[in-house]
Amino acid sequence: MTSLILASASPFRRMLLQNAGLAFDAHAATIDERAIQERLQEIHPTPEHVAVELAKAKALDVSRHFPGMLVLGSDQTMSLGERVFHKPADLDEARSHIATLAGKTHRLNSGIALVQDGVVLWEHVSSADMTVRPLSEAFIERYVERCGEKLLSSVGAYQLEGEGIHLFSAIEGDYFTILGLPMLPLLAKLRELGAING
């Protein structure tokens, strides 16, 4: 059996792997995500491409410290048309994000990559389309006041597993993709690699 390392400090990703009964260690990557995204701008990447490239960069970074180990990197981008969103810097930006998304359908793109000894063995991206219902300014204000600083940890200023569910009128896509780790394709690949029992 190959030992698995999760190149992330995300409690949600850890929870998903634990709930699936996988044995793994977690070690956060130390990369400059914004610098990587700026370099990628030269090739005008799609939001899906950015998610996969960041996932690979995280896995490659952690792989350097763990020879022989299988390292899982993951990242998520959120896009509305051509615009790619980042985590809000403060509550004012969170309000702005939510107001911009209101009444529109945006896309979450979850990229994952498996790396061993500095070699990318596999990469994948899954997407989910998220439709936010029309929202009044008063509702947005109440929502931001109730949720507070928690909103700053999510690129869309919402957490679907919490009060963020109130923002939506429709969701098309896989729940695991929305949480940032497409589990079904990941588990299929781990079985194929012999990293978990099939």
DSSP state of 66: S
Reduced to 3 states (helix: H, G, I; strand: E, B; else coil), residue 194 is coil
How far apart are the C-alpha atoms of 37 and 128, rounded to whole Å? 21
Catalytic residue among 25, 32, 61, 75: 75
Q: Is 75 a catalytic residue?
A: yes
Element (H, E) at 170: strand 168-172
Nearest Cα neighbor of 189 from 114, 137, 81, 104 is: 114
Q: What share of the chain is helix, strand, coil (3-state, %, to 5)?
A: 45, 25, 30
How far apart are the C-alpha atoms of 49 and 28, rounded to whole Å? 21
How far apart are the C-alpha atoms of 68 and 63, rounded to whole Å? 8
CB of 157 closer than 8 Å to CB of 140? no
Encode 20-52: b = buried (16+ Cβ within 10 Å), e = exposed: eebebebbebebeeeebbeeeeeeebebbbbbb
Q: Which residues form the catalytic set?
A: 75
